[in-house]
Amino acid sequence: MSKPKNKKEIIILAVDTSCDDTSVAVLKNRIVLSSVVSSQVELHQKWGGVVPDIARRAHKENIEKVYLEALKRAKIAEKEIDFFAVTYGPGLAIALEVGVDFIKNLAILNKKPLIPINHMEGHLLSSLLLNKNNQGKIKINQEDKLFPALGLLISGNHSEIVYVKKIGDYKILGETLDDAAGEAFDKVARMLNLGYPGGPIVSSLADKAKSDWNNPQKAWKEKGGKKPISELAGTFGLPIPMMRSGDFNFSFSGLKTACLYKTQELRQKYKKDTDWSYNFAREFINAISRSLSHKLIKAIEKYLEVKSVFVGGGVSNNKYITREIGNIVRKLKKNYFVPDKKFRSDNAAMIGIAAYYNILNKKNQLKADKILELDRKPMLRL
Amino acid sequence: MEIIKYNPKNHSEIVKKATKILKSGGIFVFPTETCYGLGADATNKKAIEKLYKYKRRREGKPLSVAVSDSKMAQKYVEINEIAQNLYDNYLPGPITVVSKSLGKVVKEVESEYGTLGIRIPDHKLVLDIIKEFGKPFTATSANPSYLPKPYSIKNLLKTAPQKNQDLIDLIIDAGELEQRETSTVVDTTMNNLNIMRQGQIDFSKQISHKKAVLKAQTTSAQEMLNFGSMNMLKYIDEPLDKPLVFFLMGELGVGKTQFSKGLAKKLQIKELVKSPSFTILNEYDYKLGERKGKFVHIDTWRLENIKDLESIGIDNYLKTNNIISIEWADKFFNDLKEKIKESGGKIINISFKYLDEDSREIETYE
């Protein structure tokens, strides 16, 4: 990788419309000059999910505004932009389209190259972002010392462990076979009659859990010792998925089903008294967290040469999960990186940083006619 | 290749010849009570390879084998109560009974989830060859895949390419056979009469008190996946000039995504089929023989009404050769049904019921 210091400073404008947020960011090399996320969460709360018609309409209505706001905050004029970058997958097809079309027009109009970015590469690299004072998790020119690394990407649509030989060289070691971790949060939130998005709400319930939530011994006895204690997440006996699968894959659909029947049972037992939901939420988070960390440990044990672990994606907002994973990674004497709070959920700055490294590595730069050919890829993989 | 005209006088000579060819790993064409069949030793890998070279492999379509009686069948498959009933009442006859294989035949003869179709042809010559040979041989139709089923040798030689014909070692020509329909294929592995292909024998009268076309009780995710594959297999030969749409109905966690994985598996889709709850719609390309299209996996969990579904472009997917699986189709069932009907598409309704922690009951209705 060439060192950026002697190079001219690069101004990148990045857009992400992969799901429910319209985001635009301006970067100067690794520095975030501005990052505007027009969160549509308020619009979606009513439905308990992302409603695509609204997502597209809102993206279309938002994107110009968000773009101008990002330029204004960055104090950059359109003509100063050197590169345009955009998420072209994975994500919701009709949402991706809005961002891709918007950026194609801009790149052609300004006669500048366009870098198509995989959304998951953005999540993976978001710990490399720096603020305006040049501060961040990883100092300038420190990148080379951190690889090979593992990425743990956990979001509404993904749960995967990625081997990162170096920036730009990725291999998926394992991934979810059915539901993603974030999806499990949303579905459990609905079972508990909570709103959307599920993550923060389930987490705030868990804050009220009593210390007796974590007694798998009790659940083990009640279940007649059918499953090993090590595979029960707490007093209610929720399963920790895939403990014996022998690979690096995840599966959260069985846990979801177990939660459904447990909540029905508890609701019948306690009627209007819903205090059980605090312990339940805590145990559910533990089941996810233990499953993620179990697979991560296995991956670190297999790939001992790994120097760091990068966590990314919306589920890394969950403090219980990042705390447990952080403790484990540090115990195994690896560097541990979780992005700054602002860059954990979907945002465009992470697309900018991924574009920056693509530019340094002279990869994926589309020019002229090639720009017109760019199409969204909803099922794109790393 | 040798062609022998069958007459009662050379019966035993033909039996000996056919047996010799089977033993040497060859393939031969024989008459049955339906169309002409193609025989190869089901326990000989080389012979099966040769047969597939002739047939051209239709991915996902298992072969069936001919045995002489249920005693012989028992050595190769697990016969449950439902299957036993069929053996007792309908065989020999134009029925293929699918059971769990005991793994005694070449893997390529079984389905990918270890089931095997058994035929006992109602034809003395064939039964005598089986008895003489002492092992099952394949009882697939004698045409190369995608060509018409042969009821006369003249027709077979006219339609099958020379390259394929050269692979045949022996043809037993019994003249023009009666144009009877092919065998009815019944899958008994789910402990139910699941009609996979309607042939001469119509069970629908016998099972009319159950409206379900297919039915299963599954006790694991794998079984749910298998049942999905079984549903795909049943409809795989539908003329897909219109889309084929599966409506998946049942509450959270009953196995709708597993079922969809099974559909995709039968369509030879190699990519991982994951829950589309978050992205709403996932599309995969499939290719089965000469047929190409998209497998579209939709989840309406987050959607409000049919307009939302239109906004993700469902109309673009309601096309020839496309196979669509819609989870939570009951959410706006009537609007959805109307939309599919307008496109001329065929709807298959799948209802999922929770029985206990591990067990589910699934029924297929047309």
Contact list, A91 vs chain B (CB under 8 Å): 279
- A176 vs A173, A326, B273, CA distance in Å? 11, 21, 10
Residue of chain A with shortest Cα separation from B300:
A51
Q: What confidence tier does A272 reach under pLDDT thresholds 50, 70, 90?
A: confident
If one counts every other C-beta atom within 10 angstroms of the C-beta of residue A325, the result is: 22
pLDDT of residue A242: 95
Write down the mean pLDDT value for chain A. Answer: 91
Mutation to test the B interface, candidates A158, A253, A255, A315, most B Cβ within 10 Å:
A253
Range scoring the smallest mean pLDDT among B152-156, B160-164, B303-307: B303-307
DSSP assignment of A251-287, as one string?
A: --HHHHHHHHHHHHHHHHHHTT--THHHHHHHHHHHH
Question: Is 0.80 topped by the overall pTM?
Answer: no
Which chain A residue shows the shortest CA-CA distance from B306?
A: A53
pLDDT of residue B204: 57
Contact call for A178 and B307, based on CB within 8 A: no
Mean pLDDT to the nearest integer, B264-272 = 94
Report the residue of A178, A345, A382 to disrupt the B interface, i.e. the one with the largest count of B CBs within 10 Å: A178
Contact B278 A180 (CB under 8 A): yes
Query: How many contacts does A have with B, using Cβ atoms within 8 A?
Result: 87
Percent of chain B with pLDDT over 70: 96
Q: Which of residues 351-380 of A touch B (CB under 8 A)?
A: 378-379
Mean pLDDT check: name the lowest of A64-78, B177-191, B261-275.
B177-191
Cα A343 → chain centroid: 9
pLDDT at A1: 46
pLDDT of the residue at A4: 46
Is the link from the previous residue into B243 a cis peptide, with omega within 30 of 0? no
A191 part of contact set with chain B, CB < 8 Å = yes
pLDDT tens for residues B258-267?
Answer: 999 999 999 9
Contact partners, residue A211, CB within 8 Å, separation at least 6? none
Largest CA distance in chain B: 74
B310-328 mean pLDDT = 89
> Taking CA A258 as the corner, what is the angle to CA A176 and CA A298, rounded to the nearest 5 degrees?
40
Instruction: Kindly state whether B311 is in contact with chain A, defined as any CB-CB distance less than 8 angstroms.
Output: yes
Chain B segment 268-287 residues within 8 A of A by beta carbon are 271-272, 274-275, 277-284
Is residue A294 over pLDDT 90?
yes
Beta-bridged to residue A84, according to DSSP, are: A13, A114
Alpha helices by DSSP H, listed for chain A, are 41-45, 52-74, 93-110, 119-125, 181-191, 198-206, 216-222, 253-270, 276-302, 319-331, 349-360, 368-373
The whole-number pLDDT of residue B205 equals 54
- Per the CB < 8 A criterion, the answer to whether A314 and A339 are in contact is no
Nearest CA in chain B to A378: B282
Which residue in B272, B284, B302 is closest to A49 by CB distance? B302
Average pLDDT over residues A218-235: 88
Q: pLDDT tens digits, residue range A329-360? A: 999 999 999 999 999 999 999 999 999 999 99
B290 vs B169: which has the higher pLDDT:
B169
ipTM score over 0.85, yes or no? no
How far is it, in rounded angstroms, from Cα A243 to Cα B180? 54
- With a cut of 50, say whether residue A43 has pLDDT above it: no
Please list every residue in chain A whose beta carbon sits closer than 8 Å to the beta carbon of residue B251. Answer: 260
In this prediction, residue A184 has a pLDDT band, given cuts at 50, 70 and 90, of very high
Contacting residues of B for A177, CB less than 8 Å apart: 272, 274
Min distance A13 CA to chain B CA atoms (Å): 25
Contacts of A158 (CB under 8 A, 6+ apart): A90, A120, A175, A176, A180, A182, A313
For residues B94 and B148, the answer to whether their CB atoms sit within 8 Å is no
Cβ neighbours, 10 Å, residue A37: 20
Number of neighbours of residue B248 by Cβ within 10 angstroms: 28
Cβ-count burial A267-285 (b if 16+ within 10 Å, e if not):
beeeeeeeebbbbbbbbbb
Instruction: Tokens for A127, please give them.
Output: 């710990």
Q: How far is B308 from chain A (nearest CA, A)?
A: 5
CB A4 within 8 A of CB A142: no
> Could you tell me if A45 lies within 8 Å of chain B, comparing CB atoms?
no
The predicted model gives B308-323 an average pLDDT of 87
Residue A79: count other Cβ atoms within 10 Å of its Cβ: 7
Instruction: Tell me what pLDDT residue B218 has.
Output: 94
Contact B221 A256 (CB under 8 A): no
Asked if A45 contacts A54 with a C-beta cutoff of 8 angstroms, the reply is no
Q: What is the mean pLDDT of residues B210-231?
A: 90
In three-state secondary structure terms, B18 is helix
- Identity of the residue numbered A117: I
pLDDT (0 to 100) of residue A211:
92
Backbone angles phi, psi at A240, to 5 degrees: -90, 115
Burial (Cβ within 10 Å: 0-12, 13-18, ≥19) of residue B241:
exposed
Q: Does A176 touch chain B (CB under 8 A)?
A: yes
Task: Give the per-residue pLDDT at A41.
Answer: 45
DSSP labels, B334-358 = HHHHHHHHHTT-EEEEEEEEE-SSS
Q: Which two tokens stand for residue B129?
A: 């060859």
pLDDT of res. B209: 43
The sign of the torsion formed by the CA atoms of B168, B172, B178, B183 equals: negative
For residue B287, what are its two tokens? Answer: 């290719």
Preceding omega of A197 cis (within 30 degrees of 0): yes
Q: How far apart are CA A25 and CA A352, in angstroms?
A: 7
pLDDT surpassing 80 at residue A51: no
Sign of the alpha-carbon dihedral angle for A223, A226, A229, A233: negative
pLDDT band of residue B312 (cuts 50, 70, 90) is confident
DSSP per-residue string spanning A294-322: HHHHHHHHH-TT--EEEEESGGGG-HHHH
> Is A320:A338 a contact under the CB 8 Å cutoff?
no
For residue B252, list chain A residues with Cβ-Cβ distance below 8 A. Answer: 187, 191, 256-257, 260
Q: Give the nearest chain B residue to A250 (CA atoms).
A: B274
Range with the poorest average pLDDT among A22-36, A44-58, A342-356: A44-58
A2 pLDDT exceeds 60?
A: no
Q: Is any Cβ of chain B less than 8 angstroms from the Cβ of A94?
A: yes
Tell me the pLDDT of chain B averaged across its residues.
Answer: 89
Distance from CA of B356 to the nearest CA of A (A): 10
Point out the least confidently predicted range of B51-55, B60-64, B95-99. B60-64
d(CA A379, CA B144): 36
CA A241 to mean position of chain CA atoms:
20
Q: With CA atoms as reference, report the closest residue to B301 among B272, B273, B330.
A: B330
**Mean per-residue pLDDT, B225-229:** 95
Q: Is B134 left (phi over 0), alpha (psi -120 to 50) or beta?
A: left
Task: Judge contact between B180 and B33, C-beta under 8 A.
Answer: yes
Give dist(CA A263, CA B319) in Å, integer. Answer: 41
What are the C-alpha distances in Å from A207 to residues A213, A216, A239, A366, B290? Answer: 12, 19, 21, 48, 57
Compute the distance between CA of residue B164 and CA of residue B2 in angstroms, rounded to an integer.
Answer: 14
Q: Which residues contact B74 (CB under 8 A, 6 or more apart)?
A: none
Q: What share of residues in chain B are helix, strand, coil (percent, to 5)?
A: 30, 25, 40
Alpha-carbon distance A191 to nearest alpha carbon in chain B (angstroms): 10
Which of B275, B295, B354 is most worth mutating to test chain A (most A CB atoms within 10 A of its CB)? B275
Residue A95 has pLDDT above 70, yes or no: yes
Confidence class of residue A47 from pLDDT cuts 50, 70 and 90?
A: very low
Distance in Å, alpha carbon of B230 to nearest chain A alpha carbon: 20
CB atoms under 10 Å from CB of B7, counted, come to 10
Q: Does B229 score more than 50 pLDDT?
A: yes
Token pair for A218:
């009790």
Whether residues A175 and B272 touch (CB distance < 8 A) is answered with yes
Cα separation, B236 vs B172, whole angstroms: 31
Report d(CA A186, CA A183) in Å as an integer: 5
Scan for tokens 């961040």, then name that residue. A136
Residue for token digits 């994951």? B274
